Amino acid sequence: MKVLIVQPIHESGINLLRSAGFDIIYASSPDPKVVSREIKDIDGVIVRTAPFTSEIIEQADSLKVISRHGVGVDNIDIESASKKGILVLNTPGVNDVSVAEHTIAMILALSKRIKDIDNAVRIGNFSIREEYSIIDIEGKTLGIIGFGRIGSLVAKKCRYAFNMKILVYDPYVDREKVEDVNGELVDLETLLRDSDFVTIHAPLSSETRGLIGERELRLMKPSAFIINMARGPIWDETAVVKALSEGWIKGAGTDVFEEEPPSLDNPLLKLNNIILSPHMAALTKECVIRMAICSAQGVVDVLTGKTPKSIVNYSLLKKYGKI
Ligand code: NAD
């Protein structure tokens, strides 16, 4: 059987697939037009963040499993896959630590102005120290949008390492889970008004697309920071640019963009009060191995008739009578 690797993954995952006896095919490009041509007799796929569209799925004659190397599945046309009875898997629980740490790195880098002060020293501006512009995070309020695996881990670490006060907005979470970290479940407006740091950890869905726009950013304190570790379209980038350049908020950090990679004329790239990272929060040396093994194991399980760990489209497969 053949497994298509749409974007490179760590060799530990490839070795696992090879030792199960599968042929490995690397896509010539992650471009959906190219993948559509190469998918024909493929049995399993491992996909990272590249779009896996209905156009590709239509061309697939033998595909049984699409295994997402990561958590967010917004790049996969799950509806089309489910109609064809193709299982969609992901790798929850293996990247929480890495993304939570990246989030905390952003919180610290913003509050301590790491990027600015490093630049200042290099150009002889040692007196930047007299601006008294960096802050402690101890005791500050952290607002978490989306209290799942990553959001709740950020809460725990920030609560217990930095004694931060935790506010949570998540329409689907139990109050007790939030209270476990001495957090408070609040509505989105309260969270935005009262937080010193807001961090986004919700999935991209029709409900969360554009969740943070002009109105929401204007509710935030002028001294506050916002961090997006989830997906670019959850905030309105144009509104974020306005908020940062007009001083509605102090600063921001993001790992994700509406368009990835962002074009060089994206105004976010011109602003100094935002820290940018190239969608790599989960790409630590350790995490790429965990994601490669977990996504590959999912393919092996499906193609050898075992039940895989994390089926994303179980209810849709049921709806279409495929299981
Ligand atoms: P998860 O499913 O464990 O948690 C998501 C949480 O968001 C859930 O508690 C859910 O109830 C909540 N939620 C759903 N709709 C919401 C809404 N409208 N408003 C507020 N909260 C809502 O997922 P996770 O593992 O914590 O990952 C969260 C997201 O982070 C992923 O969907 C993915 O997009 C993103 N992510 C990014 C990276 C990266 O490299 N930057 C890596 C991993 C995950």
Identify the CATH number of the domain in which residue 172 sits.
Answer: 3.40.50.720
Same domain for 117 and 47: no
Angle of CA points 196, 263, 200, to nearest 5° = 25
Residue whose Cα lies nearest atom 14 of ligand 1: it is 202
pLDDT of amino acid 50: 96
Contact partners, residue 82, CB within 8 Å, separation at least 6: 88, 313, 316, 317, 319, 320, 322
Same domain for 185 and 69: no
Q: Which domain holds residue 88?
A: 2-94+285-319
Same domain for 44 and 108: no
Residue among 172, 187, 199, 283 whose CB has most ligand 1 atoms within 8 A, to mutate: 172
Q: Is 228 in contact with 234 (CB distance < 8 Å)?
A: yes
Same domain for 191 and 57: no
Same domain for 231 and 109: yes
Same domain for 141 and 156: yes
Output the tens digit of pLDDT for each of the chain's 323 residues: 999 999 999 999 999 999 999 999 999 999 999 999 999 999 999 999 999 999 999 999 999 999 999 999 999 999 999 999 999 999 999 999 999 999 999 999 999 999 999 999 999 999 999 999 999 999 999 999 999 999 999 999 999 999 999 999 999 999 999 999 999 999 999 999 999 999 999 999 999 999 999 999 999 999 999 999 999 999 999 999 999 999 999 999 999 999 999 999 999 999 999 999 999 999 999 999 999 999 999 999 999 999 999 999 999 999 999 99
Residue whose Cα lies nearest atom 36 of ligand 1: it is 230
Nearest CA to 70 out of 2, 6, 158 is that of 6
Antiparallel, parallel or unpaired: β 141-145 and 87-89 = unpaired
Residue 260 CA to residue 91 CA, distance in Å, equals 21
Residue 154 CA to residue 170 CA, distance in Å, equals 14
pLDDT of amino acid 73: 97
pLDDT of amino acid 242: 98
Same domain for 178 and 88: no
Residue whose Cα lies nearest atom 32 of ligand 1: it is 203
Q: Which of 276, 293, 311 is the last residue of a domain?
A: 276
CA distance to 52, 152, 186, 236, 273, per residue, from 143 (Å): 33, 11, 9, 18, 19
Same domain for 256 and 107: yes
Same domain for 204 and 267: yes
Contact partners, residue 118, CB within 8 Å, separation at least 6: none
Q: Which of 276, 293, 308 is the last residue of a domain?
A: 276
- H helix or E strand, kind and range, residue 115: helix 114-122
pLDDT of amino acid 236: 98
Residue 83 CA to residue 157 CA, distance in Å, equals 41
Same domain for 171 and 222: yes
Same domain for 295 and 253: no
**Ligand 1 centroid from CA 46, angstroms:** 21
Burial class (CB within 10 angstroms; exposed 0-12, middle 13-18, buried 19+) of 34: middle
**What is the number of structural domains in the chain?**
2
Same domain for 290 and 171: no
